[in-house]
Structure 1
Amino acid sequence: MTTPAIRPESIDNKLYLHATGDWRLAQLGPEPPQFASAPSAKDNYLDGAGITSLDTSGALTLLKLLNERNIPLDTITLSNFSTAHQAIFDLVRQNFTASQQRQPAPRHRLLVQAGRTASSVGLHLAGMVNFIGIISIEAASLLRQPQRFRGKELANQIEAIFVYALPLAFTMMFLLGLVFAYLLGIQARQYGANIFVVDGSALAICRELAPVIVAILVAGRSGAAITAQIGTMKVYEEIDAIRVLGLSPYTVLVLPRLLALLIALPLLVFVGDIAGLLGSMLISDQQLSVTPITFINRLEQVLETKTVVIGLLKAPVFAAFIGVIACYMGFTVARDARSIGLNTTSTVVQSIVAVILLDAVFAITLVKLGI
């Protein structure tokens, strides 16, 4: 067995490449075969008379070496190859992938990427609109046949979304109300306006903080869980099994979860209002000399019913968007575990962005309407 090598020879502006040795995988070590530098030529010939053995790995190595020396592969003429060796070499050359060729750097990469991103976002939004249409049709069908509704599944989802999230939502809003009143009180104390901390806390917590913070909590907790559940069911073909049974996966999986979110999120926001005001009342009593009785009396004067109602009305809108995004991303999971993780993360990000954008729309619209 001889070591594989290539010996170049230039004659009359023609380049002859003499390949010698055993060009098989077993003889190809980590170091590339010897290939001395050669001048460029118009005509290139690959002489295989000295090749004792050749397999596809050897032919691929030959092609890579020639490609690295910028020798056009389609201009090489084979000479003195045995019939078997030439067949192997031609087969590998025909299937030599374009990715192994030297490709010029793509131009306008940023513009191309922007176009691809815009196209991807457009397709995603179109798919979501189609998904909303399917849900609407299923809901209308369910109104005509209410006996098909799965009440037990709805109760289970309300328990998972509302009951289990209740301690976390209460604690988060209590601490947020405490911190907000404390920071607001630092400024109010300088002007002897401690009592106005009640005004600021009531408006901020009931109208903005509680709906947004609780919605973000539900998006990260329940939205991610819904996507993971539906995605896992798709991977294990449980959704296909539901269809085989003659049931609609949208009626079985989507509508109970969506309705549970519509019920649970306003309740959690109401609990968040109470928790936030309790936190504000505690810090006002401890740091600002505003007693609980004084706090409650002032709260009755400044907290209008419409402020609480506006915050509660935001909750179903947030819930609808979170539910649609979570369920849609679950149904678009590919049949692998990696896709479940990617779609779950995407659900949380999309839901949080949607909540913030919707809250901005609410704020601008309500101010324009004078509400």
Structure 2
Amino acid sequence: MAFLEKNVAPELHLLADGDGGQRLTLTGDWTINTIAEAEKAIGKLKVRGARLTCIDLSGVEHLDTSGAWLIHRTRGQLEFEGQKVGFQGISPVRETLFHEIERHHPPAWKPESGGSSVLDFLEQTGRVVVDAWYDALAMLHILGSLGLVVSTVLLHPRRLRGISVAVQFDRSCIGAVPIVALMSFLIGAIISQQGGFYLKQFGADIFVVDLAGILVLREIGVILTAIMVAGRSGSAFTAELGAMRMQEEVDALSVIGLSVTEVLVLPRILALMIALPILTFISDMAALFGSGLVTWAYLDIPPAAFLTQLQAAITTETLVVGIVKAPFMALIIGLIACVEGLKVEGSSESLGRHTTMSVVKAIFLVIVVDGFFAMFFAAIGV
């Protein structure tokens, strides 16, 4: 049988050619089993000073990709040294093998141009615009798929994975309360301290309460909470889905007939849309508490006076304006996190890059959406 045949050792012979040059004749087996011996034989080959015209393969008994690659590399080295080498005695099948090796040969390394130009800047700008367009399409695709899944869940409520929603809510809301409350407390204290430092010079200390109350309830509370949630829960969503992509678990869900949006995306986004308004309210209360402590200690405004001035400065609409923004920001954070997670390829470098991009894009769009809300509420007089 073929696999019981003994391998013939590869050999190289330099023979005189009729045109006054030399011909390199190969014999034996040039396969993966004899590749070590072939390497040693090629290492002993010395043709400097002679005119080598061709490599004769007619004596080669067995040849596979490993041997062909070694011969191809030897030919390239000889040509690099100034020899003009061709093949002789090669069959059509082996010629096809060498053509495939040449086609898959990596191109020579070329250093990148050091200087930048206007064309390079325009090219990079165009690439960024195209990538942004594809990201927008991916988000719309997930949003449309999410709409179909939500309509299906409304018609068949038992398809909603309540346990998954509860688990994601616990991770994104209950687990985030300490850090959100602490950061908001410090921000509220800093706003009151800095505002009081300047307003105190004009004898308008009491208006620090108005400043802190309106700024925290309308803008700072929801923005700060959304940014922390994007960095905490958004990155976690991207990392989880990216790891599932790397382990082909997402493909497995599709193979067994389950909807990726229904199983993975909907519970996370739904939990985040419930969690962010709650976290925003906690952030507002913590920031106002920090502001009240600072005004009491730094400006000698007692808690009773602080609460009285705060009640006069804000209305129910002021609190509602901040809370209303939260679900929309949660939707954006969840969509971006899921899109970036599902774009992860099979490497840890890709996972880290998309996790970083998820956080950056979410924070950027959160601020943009907050600007649109500010213009909208100003237009309607709220």
Shorter chain as denominator, the TM-score bin is 0.7 to 0.9
What letter corresponds to residue 145 of structure 2 in structure 1? I
Name the structure 2 match of 1:335: 346
Find the partner of 1:213 among 211, 224, 232: 224
1:305 and 2:321 equivalent? no
Find the partner of 2:375 among 344, 364, 367: 364
Alignment map for 1:178-327 (pairs within 5 Å): 178-327=189-338
Alignment map for 1:28-177 (pairs within 5 Å): 47=53, 55-64=71-80, 83=89, 91=98, 94-95=102-103, 97=105, 99-100=107-108, 108-177=119-188
Counterpart CA distance in 2 for 1:238 and 1:77 is: 51
Asked whether the 8 Å contact 2:75–2:85 carries over to 1, the reply is no
Q: What is the Cα deviation at residue 94 of structure 1?
A: 4.7
TM-score (norm: length of structure 2): 0.76
For residues 179-215 of structure 1, the C-alpha deviation after alignment (integer angstroms, 9 at most, x for no partner) is 1111111101111111010010001111111100100
* Partner SS for 1:194: coil
Q: What is the Cα deviation at residue 125 of structure 1?
A: 1.4
Q: Structure 1 residues 235-244 or 252-261, which shifts more? A: 235-244
Q: What is the Cα deviation at residue 19 of structure 1?
A: 10
Name the structure 1 match of 2:29: none
What letter corresponds to residue 337 of structure 1 in structure 2? S
Counterpart CA distance in 2 for 1:195 and 1:130 is: 51
Q: What is the Cα deviation at residue 25 of structure 1?
A: 5.4
Asked whether the 8 Å contact 1:17–1:46 carries over to 2, the reply is yes
Name the structure 2 match of 1:39: none
For residues 2-47 of structure 1, the C-alpha deviation after alignment (integer angstroms, 9 at most, x for no partner) is xxxxxxxxxxxxxx99999x9x855888xxx9999xxxxxxxx974
For residues 87-120 of structure 1, the C-alpha deviation after alignment (integer angstroms, 9 at most, x for no partner) is 99x9489548572287996993333333333222
- Number of positions where the alignment pairs a residue of Structure 1 with one of Structure 2: 340
Counterpart CA distance in 2 for 1:279 and 1:329 is: 36
Name the structure 1 match of 2:14: none
Q: What is the Cα deviation at residue 133 of structure 1?
A: 0.7
Where does the alignment leave 5 or more consecutive residues of structure 1 unmatched? 1-15, 37-44
Counterpart CA distance in 2 for 1:254 and 1:203 is: 35
Counterpart CA distance in 1 for 2:198 and 2:47 is: 79
Q: What is the Cα deviation at residue 156 of structure 1?
A: 1.2
* Partner SS for 1:299: helix
Asked whether the 8 Å contact 1:258–1:323 carries over to 2, the reply is yes
Find the partner of 2:361 among 350, 360, 370: 350
Counterpart CA distance in 1 for 2:284 and 2:21 is: 83
Counterpart CA distance in 2 for 1:123 and 1:222 is: 24
Name the structure 2 match of 1:9: none
TM-score (norm: length of structure 1): 0.78
Q: What is the Cα deviation at residue 306 of structure 1?
A: 1.0
Distance 1:112 1:19, change over 3 A: farther
What letter corresponds to residue 99 of structure 1 in structure 2? P
Q: Structure 1 residues 109-118 or 158-167, which shifts more? A: 109-118
Counterpart CA distance in 2 for 1:362 and 1:103 is: 48
Q: What is the Cα deviation at residue 350 of structure 1?
A: 0.9
What letter corresponds to residue 117 of structure 1 in structure 2? V
Q: What is the Cα deviation at residue 329 of structure 1?
A: 1.7
Identity of aligned residues (%): 33
Distance 1:325 1:96, change over 3 A: closer
Counterpart CA distance in 2 for 1:181 and 1:102 is: 58
What letter corresponds to residue 321 of structure 2 in structure 1? I
Counterpart CA distance in 2 for 1:249 and 1:104 is: 41
Asked whether the 8 Å contact 2:54–2:85 carries over to 1, the reply is no
Distance 1:147 1:48, change over 3 A: closer
* Partner SS for 2:173: helix
Asked whether the 8 Å contact 1:203–1:307 carries over to 2, the reply is yes
Q: What is the Cα deviation at residue 232 of structure 1?
A: 1.7
Asked whether the 8 Å contact 1:269–1:315 carries over to 2, the reply is yes
Counterpart CA distance in 2 for 1:311 and 1:343 is: 29
Where does the alignment leave 5 or more consecutive residues of structure 2 unmatched? 1-19, 27-37, 56-69
What letter corresponds to residue 202 of structure 2 in structure 1? Y
Distance 1:28 1:362, change over 3 A: farther
